[in-house]
Amino acid sequence: MNINEIQSFVPPVRTLMGPGPSDVHPRVLQAMARPTIGHLDSNFVDMMDELKVLLQYAFQTENALTIPLSAPASAGMECCFVNLIELTDKVIVCQNGVFGGRMKENVERCGGMVVMVEDEWGSAVDPNKLEETLKLNSDAKIVAFVHAETSTGVQSDVKTLCEIAHKYDCLTLVDTVTSLGGTPVKVDEWQMDAVYSGSQKCLSCTPGLSPVTFSEAAIEKIKARRLRVQSWFLDLNLVMSYWASGAKRAYHHTAPINALYGLHEALVMLKEEGLENAWARHEKNHQAFRLGIEAMGLSFKVKESERLPQLNAINVPEGIDEVAVRKRLLTQYNLEIGAGLGNLAGSIWRIGLMGYASNMKNISYCIGAMADILGNS
C-alpha cells in the first residue's frame, strides 16, 4: 500500500441487521459531532451524573455503581470477572453458546476454579441443571450466565437462575449485551449482582462503551478482596472514585468524551420512547419478521418460547451456500446479516432487529432481498 494514495475514509451506507453493531440513530451521530470539551469540565461532569441516572433506568436498578465503562462490552465482561473473582474462588458458569465459553476463560485467567453447566446451543440454560450442580458444589461463590446468547438468539430465564443462585449463597454475574433496551432486564427485581452490556446493540449507539451495574453485595465482595484486582484500568475500587458525583470525582483516565455524548443521547431516546414501549416494539417487529421468514419456507433454530425478539437465528436450507447469500446481500443490497459461530458456523444466519434497526422498513427490505437471492440460488 502506497501511503501517498491514502485519503479520507468514506464508508459505504449499509443497513446493519447482523448481531451487532446495529444501525446508529442519526440523533446519536449528531450528538457525537458536538464540540469536544475537557473531561474535567464541570458541564461534562454534570453529563456523567445524568448518564448514571439514565443507565439506572435502562437497567431498572437503584444501584449506585451503575456506569458506562470506557471500553467495549468484552471489557465490561472482564471487569465483572477480575473484580469479583480471587484465586481459588469456585465459579459456576452456564454455557449454551459462544459467550458462555468466554466466561469460562475469564474465570480461568483470574485463577478461579470453574465448574461448567452445559446446555445445547440453541436452548436456554436449564435451571434444574444449575441447581443440581450447586448442590454438588456448596463452596461455589458466583454463578455466571448469559441472559441473551448472541451466538444463538436464545433468551434464558434470569429471574429463576438468580433465585437458584442466591438460594445457595452465590452472587450472580450476568451478560445482558444483546438484551439491554430490547427485552426486559430488571436488575433489582431479579436480584442480579454484577451485570454488563454494550452500547452497540439495542441502544443503537456506536461500539466502544460497556454499561455495567453492581449490587451492594457485589461491591462488598470487591472491597473485601485480599489481593488487588489484577487489572489497573478495570479495578472498580479506582473506577468507583472516577464516577463519584460532582466535585468528589477523582481522575482515573481521559473519558471518550464524544462517545459518551452519543450514549447519553441514545439513553435519552430510550427514556422518550419508554422502556416498556421499546420492549414491545422489538417483540412486535420480531413477529412481523417471523411471518415473512416462514412464508419463504425458512425456519428458526430456537423454539418460540426461548427466542430473542431482537436476534433471529435462521436455519440455512440444505443445499444453500450461506456465505454466498450473505455476500450477495452485502454487495447487491448493502445489507449485512451475520453468520453462525462455533458449533453453529455454516448452519444458521443471525439476523438482528436491534434498537433503531428494529423497524418495518428494514424488515420488508431484508425479507425482499433474501427472497430474491434465495429464489435465484
Of 226, 253, 271, which residue sits at a domain end?
271
Question: Quick one: 223 and 350 in the same domain?
Answer: no
pLDDT of residue 91: 98
Q: What is the pLDDT of residues 172-199, one digit of tens each?
A: 999 999 999 999 999 999 999 999 999 9
State the pLDDT confidence band at 243, using cuts at 50, 70 and 90: confident
Give the residue-averaged pLDDT of 239-263. Answer: 85
Nearest alpha carbon to residue 19 among 244, 220, 182, 241: 182
With respect to residue 182, please indicate whether it lies within any of the assigned structural domains. yes
pLDDT tens digits along 300-329: 999 999 999 999 999 999 999 999 999 999
Instruction: Name which of 25-34, 72-81, 233-242 the model is least confident about.
Output: 233-242
Q: Are residues 251 and 286 in the same domain?
A: no
Scan for cell 459461530, then name that residue: 341
Domain boundaries, position 63: 26-271
pLDDT value of residue 240: 83
Could you tell me if 226 and 318 lie in one domain?
no
* Surface-to-core class of residue 304, CB atoms within 10 Å of its CB (0-12 exposed, 13-18 middle, 19+ buried): exposed
Q: How far, in Å, CA of 204 to CA of 223, rounded?
A: 34
One domain for residues 206 and 295: no
H-assigned helices in 114-193 = 127-136, 158-167, 187-190
Q: Looking up cell 441443571, which residue turns up?
A: 129
Considering the entire predicted model, what is its pTM?
0.96
Q: Which of 250, 271, 292 is the last residue of a domain?
A: 271
Average pLDDT, the chain: 96
- Angstrom distance (rounded) from CA 241 to CA 28: 28
Q: Which pLDDT value is given to residue 377? A: 64
Decide if 75 contacts 212 (C-beta within 8 A).
no
Measure the CA–CA gap between 368 and 362, rounded to whole angstroms.
10
Same domain, 281 and 346: yes
In 10 A of CB 335, how many CB atoms? 23
pLDDT in tens, 30-79: 999 999 999 889 999 999 999 999 999 999 999 999 999 999 999 999 99
pLDDT of residue 247 exceeding 60: no
Q: Is residue 224 part of a domain?
A: yes
Q: pLDDT tens for residues 346-355?
A: 999 999 999 9
| % of the chain residues with pLDDT over 70 | 99
Q: Is the pLDDT of residue 164 over 80?
A: yes
Residue 246 scores a pLDDT above 60? no
Residue 55 CA to residue 188 CA, distance in Å, equals 13
Q: What is the mean pLDDT of residues 321-339?
A: 97
Please check the confidence at residue 250 and state whether its pLDDT lies above 90. no
Same domain, 293 and 260: no
User: Which are the contacts of 277, defined by CB distance < 8 A and separation ≥ 6?
Assistant: none
Given a cut of 60, whether residue 370 has pLDDT beyond it is: yes
Asked if residue 150 lies in contact with residue 19, where contact means CB atoms within 8 angstroms, the answer is: yes
Task: Kindly state whether residues 286 and 369 are assigned to the same domain.
Answer: yes
In a domain, 365, yes or no: yes
The pLDDT assigned to 249 comes to 74
